[in-house]
Structure 1
Amino acid sequence: MDDLFSYAEEQATQSDDSPAAQIAQLREQVARHDRLYYNEAQPEISDADYDKLFRQLELLEKKHPELDDANSPTKRVGGAPLDSFSQVEHILPMLSIDDVFSEEEMTSFYQRVQKALGESSIPVVVEPKIDGVAVSLVYRHGQLDYAATRGDGRHGDDITNNVRTIGRIPLTLPAGAPELLEVRGEIFMPNSGFAKMNEERDEAGLQTFANPRNATAGTLKQLDPKEVAKRPLDFIAHGIGAYEGDELDNEDQFHKLLDQLGIRRNDPIWHCDSLDGVLSAIRELDEKRHHFDYGTDGAVVKLLDYEQRGELGATSRAPRWASAYKYPPEQVETLLRNITIQVGRTGVLTPVAELDPVHVSGTTVSRATLHNEEEIQRKDVRLGDTVVIEKAGEIIPAVVKVVLDKRPADAQPFDLVDYVDGKCPSCSGPISQQEGMVAWRCTNFTCPAQAVTKIVHFASRKALDIDGLGESIAVKLVEYGLAQTPLDLFQLSEQRLAELELDPAVNKSGAESKARRLGEKRAETILTSLNNAKNKMPLARWIFAMGIPQVGESGARELSRLHASLFDLSASEILKDIQLASQLEAERKFVSPGNKSNPPANEVEKEKRKRQVEDIKDQLVVVNTRLEPYQVSSEVGPATVQSLLSYLQSDAGQHMLAHLRELGINPQSENFAPLPAEAGELKFTGMTFVITGTLSQPRSAFKKRIEEAGGKVSGSVSKKTSFLLSGEGGGSKYDKAQSLNVSILDEAAFETMINS
């Protein structure tokens, strides 16, 4: 595989075009491929080729900060954390839609519209009511200007930095976009992404989210856009706000405009011109909505014609031309027969409710996750209880509450530790609960339940791709004591593997055959794949194969770009700096005078904290300057680094590293991008320069020399500026540097400094 970093750097420096032209062209290309991928599901290039374009753009923008653009596709990874959200006043009030809860109420709405317009046939559209967070996207001259929540209808939170991380939302519209376009819609979390995220949080022992809407709302309230970028958020448009462009007469024309601009809109849409048609569409949507990959809690009925909408107008809180039919949540009662405890790949003990089978939202449910002991105690779930079940996000069976009136007299509160007698239910090994975590884990490195799932993951196609080694064989290897950890696979002999007894096969009539051997041919296939993994599989595959919580495929690839070999990870200065930056940022937020949960006691403490914040910011500048040359992506964030280092420093991690050394395995990176020199050896590391005035060479030449020496070039003077490099006519920057006591260098002093 090509070295991504080197390739991008080479492409970024070989073009004859000006940097501005190169950047503009790359932004247009990346934005186009984003539209093809996210909105049209018709990608034209591979992920690898897309990554090359993206990295090339990142490098050019890094070298030319004067060409910064808030709507560049590179902003998808998130910017600097905010202290708080600012407020935005909506151009037009962002009203709610009145709800109705029965077909009778919907009939009344339609008849009121008929009477008000004096028409018997009223064209309307019916569309899904998405269970998300309402937002407004304002585009001016084809560029995303800002994004805001509904708030109180007149003012909302400015969530622009968070919205920029959502791949589905275009930051720049194609040519021909209206001068002003306010698109209103819903940000939501797809059910599939929500389920995967909750599963990962469960595995990591973190608190899970109750449903996709809560997860979405909580994510958008994050002050750190980099954290938002990690969550699987999506967007669907459903309405228009402020608008300056070619006249739009009805909803169909608005939908056509959205399609032309590459903005995903609500679908399916029903067109009706009678009450019977409206009620029929609502019923049909109720059947179809269970197959959508997002939560819906109703059907929105809106007048098609904009002129008719204007005739009806609005109240102070809702338009008179629209109504939302709310579907009743499908909840059913059933009996909780038992609670079983599953042991996951990372040792997390997950309680599962075993239920009398019951039909919910189109499927039969007999099991539902209880997530963890804290969740069980919060809901006071007990064995023998009658519980209410619904599908969270209409996909994940969940216990909503207990029917206390039907509780048996002898029902006892559930205690996970007592329930499993303080031992892992799979291996009887010790269990523990990490401080600050809600999950209990089995700490036995050779736990069979973990062994099987770890081996299956280790051998999976996206990991080390061990051909022929599936779950059934992994179960038998563990059962016969041939493998307790994935690395034990490398000590298997062909003879012992060939003799492995598998479960009897079952023929079409249901009869079992005699026990089967794995056989020499299948054993040879597995061992050939293992030898290939040992000698040829790159570092990224190995990192992913280890199955460390919070470390996915993308994170593994980024880690391998930053490190030459597996044994470099545990002593990595890069990872330690990421960890340190996270700790400093958390400390900054805690001591901030504006921290409402930890306010200063008085003015003296407030001033003291201001100084502390400035000191921490200075430390962050130094740490981030060390990290800056590596361009670490958000895939290797603080949570990933913490999980990785915790594992490598644990007994299990040390055992794994020692075992690898014994086996002579040290996977190498295929995309490692070493820097020309270590950041710590560069002369200007941690220093920020501002350049002004007329110099003997273009400013770009001085900027390049400063950056090559490890420094950073900023466009404005502040207290954080280390030096002002000033030629003739320094102007306002020179004056500001003097007022802030910033050191000022002329060209001769700069040459002496850089050459000394």
Structure 2
Amino acid sequence: MSETKAVADLGEDEARAELARLAKAISAADKAYHRADAPEISDAEYDALKVRNAAIEARFPHLKRPDSPSERVGAAPVEGFGKVRHEMPMLSLSNAFDAADVEDFVAGIRRYLNLGPEAPLAFTAEPKIDGLSLSLRYEKGRLVRAATRGDGEVGEDVTANARTIGDIPAKLSGAPDLLEVRGEVYMSHADFAALNERQERAGGKTFANPRNAAAGSLRQLDPEITRARPLRFFAYGWGALSEPLADTQSGAIERLSALGFPANPLTRRCDRLDEMLALYREVEQRRATLGYDIDGVVYKIDDLALQARLGFRSTTPRWALAHKFPAELAWTRLEGIDIQVGRTGALSPVARLTPVTVGGVVVSNATLHNEDYIAGRDARGNPIREGKDIRVGDWVQVYRAGDVIPKVADVDLSKRPADAQPYQFPEKCPECGSDAVREPGDAVRRCSGGLICPAQAVERLKHFVSRAAFDIEGLGAKQVESFWRDGWIREPADIFTLEERYGPGQPRQLRNREGWGEKSAANLFAAIRECRRIPLRRLIFALGIRHVGEAAAGLLARHYGTWGAFEAAMTHARIDEGPEWDDLLSIDGVGAVMATSLITAFHQEAERASIDRLVALLEVEEAETRAPATSPVAGKTVVFTGTLEKMTRAEAKARAEALGAKVSGSVSAKTDLLVAGPGAGSKAKKAAELGIETIDEDAWLRLIEGA
């Protein structure tokens, strides 16, 4: 069964459940890869997750989750190094897996820029190095700081270690006063083999692959260890600059090469789509002989002025694409099916497999999505996998697709045991025995036990301390489970009273607990105290309200600004009526489903009481604003309507948001400005009735000119 066919067979409810699973799996894989330098899946398998997520979002754009993996980059930095906030975020890239994806990418850029099919549009293409992203900041020609990607916003200060890498110049001649060079630290195959041989002889740790070796070497607390490791560097881009390097991507890379930074010799300028694909095939054929790991080819718009017009999505640039090499498949036996209960009560079936090696990694678990997927149908009853159900004992095809749980892709009926029985999905929660109910229109069955279900309570606490939420150092999933089991924490507020209940001077003390000591206990209490001050967006996300992910939490935080304003709005809001409801729906990216979930959470007595107990112990920061100080539209709510003739609607929206405006899809009393093109209808009429300033596209362009 092909990936395309599987997505095409998904019903809306099944797609919603699948997007939820993908969001969780990719988040865990990000943390393992970026934070622990110990990826549990290969790049190809990770990409299989990402491409499935993107395909489902493309088919069901209205189901895109606020915590979609397309809204995230990397994982939070680990402790041990100083933290560095990137002046310009280090973003990831959108992925393509076949020629059709690349063709769609090019066509999408032409549409966004309103370029015809014959208009010239050049790209640079370069191998995608499988290493560790690094940012190098030079001031007046001197290397002053080196930082890893981290979560894209904040990385780790590895300056001392970067200075030991021979490919990285300590001083530059003729460089801009401020130059931030970005590239990839990697290790060649020959150096990797030699390092592992030395490590083995010395009885030290050997590395699974060159990427792990490079990442582990760069992040040594002792720079002398890094110096002894054979690390290399390729430059592929830049961040903050005091002056432009060139007018084109290819020219800028040539300038970096002239300054002394190694650039990949296979980088090439391509004027047509067929040239891009030809280079991809050439690089793929030469992959085994390059002497270092790559996992695809990156295409970038060559004209930097066009890059600026295209701008960025939340976590990826619109002007770049990674064309990845394909993933691998394997067949194995399905030994059993377990049911896991998530924080929203969803019952998720997991396949237990006879261990099999896929792409060099041993796989023993796989996702089975939901009961319809097991039965061989979508949520509407249409057949998938040609209607073949999945039974214990079956011979199944898998590819690793995120976290440690790959995907079961197909079934070989010719090897089905004669006594194999259809799987009966449970109608009771395996954790608390409550009814497991499947509501009309929902693809998943959910435990009705709510907070009395220990699985839901524990999973919500795990979410609360997760990377994008409170991210409390020393308090992870394992510690949460242990504290819950012994009754030390039952809700988020309990975390912030741990020290007064189990700190020094108390009858029972954390430092006396198995696995803890005086230092580790003190470190945890200090980390908890530090996290009492929390940005609004992180707090909203941490609450674990269904349908409210990282991106949505950011939207809500920027819209309301403070916890007080947000809390008051949710308190007074009523579903489907009133000004608070209308204001909530005016946020671009917030729909009725999410709004209903938010209001419901704040109006449930037990949940609201839990939130109030938590917030009473916190200091919530106001939402950050990144609008330029001179922006004429910063903080204003702008609505676009009608046909824009000099830029696409998408470009206009992206430009407005980059200048600090809030772009809404509807006109209300809170709208500050309506930009109306030809064909403006009801929105223009409503704006006139409300006395809202209305301008045309030319006036809009004059307003933002130079901003």
TM-score by length of 2: 0.43
Q: Which has the higher contact order (CA 8 A, sep 6+)?
A: 2
Work out which of the two has the higher radius of gyration on C-alpha atoms and give 1 or 2: 1
